Amino acid sequence: MCGIVAYIGPREAYPVILKGLKRLEYRGYDSSGVALLNGDLNVYKKKGKVAELEEMLVGKDVHSHIGIGHTRWATHGEPNDRNAHPHISGSGKLAMIHNGIIENYAQLKQDLLRKGYTFKSDTDTEVLLNFIEDIKENNNCPLEEAVRIALKRIVGAYVIVLIDQEHPDTLITARKGSPLVIGIGKNEHFLASDASPIIEYTKEVVYVNDYELAIIKADELILKNLGNERQTPFITKLDMELAAIEKGGYEHFMLKEIFEQPQTIQDCLRGRLDANGGTITMSGVSKYAEQIMNANRIVMVACGTSWHAGLVAEYIFEELCRINVEVEYASEFRYRNPVINQGDVIIAISQSGETADTLVAIENAKSKGAIIMGVVNVVGSSIARISDTGAYTHAGPEIGVASTKAFTAQLAVLTMIALKIGYEKGTISHDRYLQLVRELDAIPEKVATVLLQADNIRKLAEKYKDATNCLYLGRGYNFPVALEGALKLKEISYIHAEGYPAAEMKHGPIALVDENLPVVFIATKDAYHEKVVSNMQEIKARKGQVIAIINEGDEFTPTLADDVIVVPEADEIVAPMLNCIPLQLLAYYIGVAKNFDVDKPRNLAKSVTVE
Ligand code: F6R
């Protein structure tokens, strides 16, 4: 979704902003632009990639020590030059960038049209900007005050950053619901949607809270709430290295992130899981262990891939903890009127920690007395901060739009939580607990073994790349893995794919099966193995092409399959962390074979900060 970058200080603003916009490209966007103040207010914007904006600006006057930049993911108005940000106010003196949605923009626009304002774009952003300017002029007040007044009348989510030709030494920014990080340098400040454009310059950052407004000069940061009271900026140290957001020799971030998984799962287990001592240490879980053990139910709330992690966790928690678990799409949960009882535990799962639907869903649940536990990757993100407790997944920055390493880290964290709670509650035996601790500990090495299959999977990708539809089937713990495999294929290769519980196939999807339909079976050894193999026979009988994910030593299943991918054997509870890897690689290599931009698939955004 939209990315914002801004700079004020002694450096040339344009190169800092341009590099920052490139770092934010992974979020997904369709146009970009910059506004630079140097006596004149110069605004340049263009549909397409940041590189096209850069090309357009060759030879232009970009000298400035204050500027704002934006990558836009269209919401109001199609992606074109006109609708790209920054927008300029009616007087031509203010420029603004915005991430979020102003829900009451239509009414505000009507009011402004009646007052004689005209609009150059179709965006809600231009409406908000002129609304601010109108307040400033009518009240003859400073911009800061006009912003404050305007924001009190806004419904929706926003991060806005403004520059004012009359005050070239000040940036004004405010946030509600969308992410904003301020980097503090030596007599300079950097603003961005996440830390990736900032990390190269400073590790000291302030995460701006909802309903806060900042007045920023090169050497001063004043933080206020919308009631105009000064707030003390809370400075956090970034725990991230520049290398983590670069490709490190891989062709794509997605491939790098798939290959990082032995390490990221290890990072996630480190300091928590002690296989020798048989202990799991998770302070965020211990703090609320009683409440979780005694909860009548746990509700997993998430979107997309994180929702799939929630589904796997449902099976695991019910098995190990004997607690009723529901898994909810955040976008549905937030708008229903769900029954939430005091003491219900909500586990919010999110890579970015900024997904708008998940964020609002847990805000609502919290206000009704639920305990919120965040399983989040991005440290300091909104979901992490609003949660009562939680556990970070420690997968490091995930830049590829399709989630890969964050998913396996989510599974690792959720499995540890379930094991810890199940053991303390007494719903699993000591032996089973120790066995699963050891199984979990062995996962990073087994993932490394699966990755050795990459070349084989690349060849399969060549064979199946021209398919137009694909089915993914699995049962039990592997049903959500089938859903995740299908989602990866859709996102990266634009091939229509569906995941189903293998048995459910007979209730409809089997009608699709013919000799042109590839069907991916997750057929590793677990309690359902024989039943899955029977389902495979049903597909073969109808001439479907079967690709089977199987375990080492399975000699029978390959006789039914057209192609097999072999993964090491593991307990069914931890197996999804292995079984999803070939599916990630298959989607990746098909996307590459079809020449698609696998790191930035069309229409997708990494961090979905609008509902
Ligand atoms: C799929 C994908 C999305 C996200 C979803 C939730 O590859 O990346 O489906 O999983 O948008 O995002 P987070 O986890 O950031 O809340």
SS (H, E, C) 448-493: HHHHCCHHHHHHHHHHHCCCCEEEEEECCCHHHHHHHHHHHHHHHH
Mutate-to-test residue for ligand 1 from 26, 305, 329, 413, highest number of ligand atoms within 8 A of CB: 305
Active site annotation includes 506: no
Which atom of ligand 1 is least distant from the CA of 607?
A: 15
Which atom of ligand 1 is least distant from the CA of 404?
A: 7
Q: In angstroms, what is the span from residue 4 Cα to ligand 1's centroid?
A: 20
Q: In angstroms, what is the span from residue 373 Cα to ligand 1's centroid?
A: 18
φ/ψ (deg, to 5) at 563: -145, 150
The pLDDT score that the predictor gives to residue 609 is 77
The pLDDT score that the predictor gives to residue 266 is 94
The pLDDT score that the predictor gives to residue 170 is 98
The pLDDT score that the predictor gives to residue 33 is 97
> Residue 256 contacts by C-beta under 8 Å, 6 or more apart in sequence?
247, 248, 250, 400
- pTM for this model (two decimals): 0.85
> Residue 395 contacts by C-beta under 8 Å, 6 or more apart in sequence?
260, 264, 267, 268, 351, 377, 405, 406, 408, 409
Check: CATH 3.40.50.10490 for 451-604? Answer: yes
Ligand 1 pocket by Cβ (under 6 Å): 303-306, 350-352, 355, 358, 402-403, 487, 491, 607-608
The pLDDT score that the predictor gives to residue 551 is 97
Which atom of ligand 1 is least distant from the CA of 402?
A: 7
Q: In angstroms, what is the span from residue 108 Cα to ligand 1's centroid?
A: 33
Which atom of ligand 1 is least distant from the CA of 308?
A: 10
Active site annotation includes 321: no
Instruction: Choose which CATH entry (3.30.70.580, 3.40.50.10490, 1.10.10.10, 3.90.230.10) describes domain 248-441.
Output: 3.40.50.10490
Q: In angstroms, what is the span from residue 340 Cα to ligand 1's centroid?
A: 25
Q: In angstroms, what is the span from residue 132 Cα to ligand 1's centroid?
A: 34
Range(s) of the chain covered by CATH 3.60.20.10: 3-243
Distance CA 447, CA 286 (A): 29
- For 549-572, how does the pLDDT look when each residue is reduced to its tens digit (9 = 90+)? 999 999 999 999 999 999 999 999
Q: Of all protein residues, whose CA lies closest to atom 7 belonging to ligand 1?
A: 402
Distance CA 496, CA 499 (A): 10
> For the chain, which residues score pLDDT lower than 50?
none
Helix (H, G, I), strand (E, B) or coil at 413: helix
The pLDDT score that the predictor gives to residue 285 is 96
Instruction: Scan for tokens 């292995």, then name that residue.
Output: 578
Count helices and strands in the chain by DSSP H and E runs: 20, 27
To which CATH superfamily is domain 3-243 assigned?
Answer: Aminohydrolase, N-terminal nucleophile (Ntn) domain (3.60.20.10)
Range(s) of the chain covered by CATH 3.40.50.10490: 248-441, 451-604
